[in-house]
Amino acid sequence: MLFNALFALMVVLFLLSLYSLAFKKQKNYYLSIMIRLLTLGLFTLIVFDQYETQTHLALVLLTWVLFESSENFYRKKLPASK
């Protein structure tokens, strides 16, 4: 239950971050920090065997990869638009 609530919060923050990047054309550093902290927290829960399924690990890693790739895309796109 705790994992699902934290993961849902991370997904909502990730979507807010994507909205900020896509429509406002600026990066929200507070959202980035919160997403990274939640990712580390969820990964820690998985490592300490609180949630043993590989599905949880795959979801956290997939969300983390999507978040980092959107951040890198924003970094590459910003100098090109200037």
Say how far apart CA 34 and CA 54 lie, in whole Å.
Answer: 24
Domain that holds residue 35: 2-81
Residues in the chain where the model's pLDDT stays below 50: none
- Tens of pLDDT, residue by residue over 29-45, are 888 888 888 888 888 88
Q: Which pLDDT belongs to residue 78?
A: 60
pTM beyond 0.75: no
Q: Which pLDDT belongs to residue 53?
A: 76
Count of domains forming the chain: 1
Residues 6 or more apart in contact with residue 9 via CB below 8 angstroms: 38
